[in-house]
Amino acid sequence: MMENKNSIPVTVLTGFLGSGKTTLLNKILSENHGKKIAVIENEFGEVGVDNELVIGADEEIFEMNNGCICCTVRGDLIRILDQLLKRKDKLDYIIVETTGMANPAPVAQTFWVDDEIKDKYSLDAIVTIVDAKHVWLHIDESAECKEQIAFADVILLNKTDLVSAEELVKLEKRIKSMNANAKIHKTQNADIDLEHILNIQAFDLDAKIELNPEFAVEEYPYEWMGIYDFADAEYQINMKEGPDPSFDLCFVKLADTSEAVITKAQKQAIKTFAMESKTLKAEKFINTNNTLNTLLIENESQTFYFRPHKAGIYAVFTQHGPEEFNLELTVKNTKNGVPTFENVEPTLTDEFAHNHEHDDIISSVGIEDTHELSIQKVNEWISYLLREKAIDIFRMKGILNIAGNDDRFVFQGVHMLFDAKADRKWKPGETRKNQIIFIGKNLNREELLAKYKKCIVK
């Protein structure tokens, strides 16, 4: 948001009943920070510290467009915000607490719909408290629980003392798969340094937007990985027809086969799969140097070749399982002047769930890439997303490398409310790159990537 420097920051606090919201609020209010904080809360009367302003709200939601969640705002909140501006003593901070069953969208949208509100208040962040033990009762069934996690900039995994380390790892993985961009803090009794939850400027376009580099952790655009030890030789890939008319694959060179190196390679492959691909017809050579290759499957049977750019260990990532195309890998040896082809088997394989199999779930799709984008194409794409996908895309934000422009472009969106601008000059030596994240339901990674790739300047 392009807020006024004198605007009052607002933190939205969400979380199910019993997750620890009241404990956190009491902690915020009782800390000796010397700030005048107003709390707008629903469970009126539970929180209250001398000298603090606690205002009851009734979560009155109204629609600005017929039946569209994208255009709902909180009427009660608007009235309260209007009243607060008329006070003589200026507030330093506002915290809006929502009821356990609330969807955070109308609250967030309240701060975006009107220029005067945008000018006087700045939505700082959405903080969601999750009860690490009891969240499993809601996380699969409750739309509100999923929305609260999906909308969050910060997630407090609270009551970690009530669960085992294994349960906590499982929960953290699940949450990251839903919202890969939120900062996760593990807490007991909602005990956290306030600097992690207040004044973090998650919605501020003027602040340095930091996208979580781990954002793509649980989103695999490939279904299969095989580890191979390749010699400096010519290899041959034989493939039959399969479920798709093309087959994407990329190679990542590994230093060794340790878990850390393989995990890093998986992340690299996610980025490579987001890049523009090189399309190859049969009989062509595949690039093994961090390039996405799209093999065209035009015949009943076809052969492709590659020679590793360096001999050594590689991870090969494929869009589909190799068995779906009866893929065979062989190496060419020449004995007494006669070429022979020997089968090559991976030393290790792994399979990955493909995200397009998960319908109606909340997930994140991240794009990171260094190509220059066409401003006109980006505008067309964003227009399309806001027009057609705004209900499903809860939040999006990004940094863009626009062709022919020395400015870094940044944007933020909540459903169909959107804010964007040229931010600052790219610094000398800084890698100009695009980083975009979408969080929402029914996100189609392939479609988002395909439309993104159309914005790349050829």
Partner 1 sequence: MRNFFNNEFDPDNKEITKKVKQWVKTYFALPDEGCVVLVSELQCADEGCPDVETVISILMKPEVKVFKIGKPLMYVRTYDIETISKNYFTQNIT
Contact 436, 452 (CB under 8 A): yes
User: DSSP strand E in 89-245: where?
Assistant: 93-97, 121-131, 154-158, 183-186, 224-230, 235-240
Please give the helix or strand (H or E) that residue 73 lies within, else none.
Answer: strand 72-74
Among 10, 217, 280, 416, binds partner 1 (CB under 8 A): 416
Classify residue 188 by its DSSP letter: S
100 Cβ partners below 8 Å, 6+ apart? 15, 16, 17, 18, 19, 144
- Considering only 31, 59, 119, 328, the residue that binds partner 1 (CB under 8 A) is 119
Q: Nearest distance from residue 441's CB to partner 1, in Å?
A: 17
Report the C-alpha gap between 62 and 106 in whole angstroms.
9
Nearer to partner 1, 58 or 232 (CB): 58
- Asked whether 409 and 399 are in contact (CB, 8 A), the reply is yes
Cα angle vertex 439, ends 396, 14, to 5°?
100
Size of residue set near partner 1 by CB under 8 A: 37
The CA distance from 142 to 290, in Å, is 41
* Binds partner 1 (CB under 8 A): choice among 170, 421, 424, 425: 421
Which of 108-116, 346-354, 362-370, 447-455 is the region at the interface with partner 1 (rule: CB under 8 A)? 108-116
Cβ closer to partner 1: 340 or 383?
383
Decide if residue 392 touches partner 1 (CB under 8 A). Answer: no
Report if residue 456 touches partner 1, rule: CB under 8 A.
no
For residues 121 and 4, give the distance between their C-alpha atoms in angstroms, rounded to a whole number: 8
Site residues for partner 1, 80-99, by CB under 8 A, read 82
**Cα separation of 310 and 135, whole Å?**
48
Task: Please say whether the beta carbons of 300 and 240 come within 8 A.
Answer: yes
Stretch of residues binding partner 1 (CB under 8 A), selected from 262-270, 282-290, 332-340, 372-380: 372-380
* 58: contact with partner 1 by CB under 8 A: no
Distance (Å, whole) CA 386 – CA 365: 16
Nearer to partner 1, 332 or 432 (CB): 432
Residues 18, 48, 75, 242: which binds partner 1 (CB under 8 A)? 75
- Alpha carbon distance 369, 401 (integer Å): 9
If one asks whether residue 249 binds partner 1 (CB under 8 A), the answer comes out as no
Q: Give the nearest distance from C-beta 414 to partner 1 in angstroms.
A: 13
Taking the complex as a whole, the smallest distance from the CB of residue 97 to partner 1 amounts, in Å, to: 21
Q: Which residues contact 271 (CB under 8 A, 6 or more apart)?
A: 216, 368, 369
- Per DSSP, the three-state class of 86 is coil
Q: Which of 203, 220, 317, 409 binds partner 1 (CB under 8 A)?
A: 409
Among 62, 232, 285, 447, binds partner 1 (CB under 8 A): 62
Q: Which of 33, 46, 63, 191 binds partner 1 (CB under 8 A)?
A: 63
Residue among 184, 331, 361, 386 that touches partner 1 (CB under 8 A): 386
Give the max Cα distance, the chain: 95
Closer CB to partner 1, 113 or 194, in the complex: 113
Shortest Å, Cβ 115 to partner 1? 4
403 binds partner 1 (CB under 8 A): no
- The reply on whether position 455 binds partner 1 by CB under 8 A is no
Q: Which spans of this chain sit near partner 1 (rule: CB under 8 A)? A: 2, 62-66, 68, 71, 73, 75, 78-79, 82, 113-117, 119, 375, 378-380, 382-383, 386-388, 390, 402, 409, 411, 416, 418, 420-422
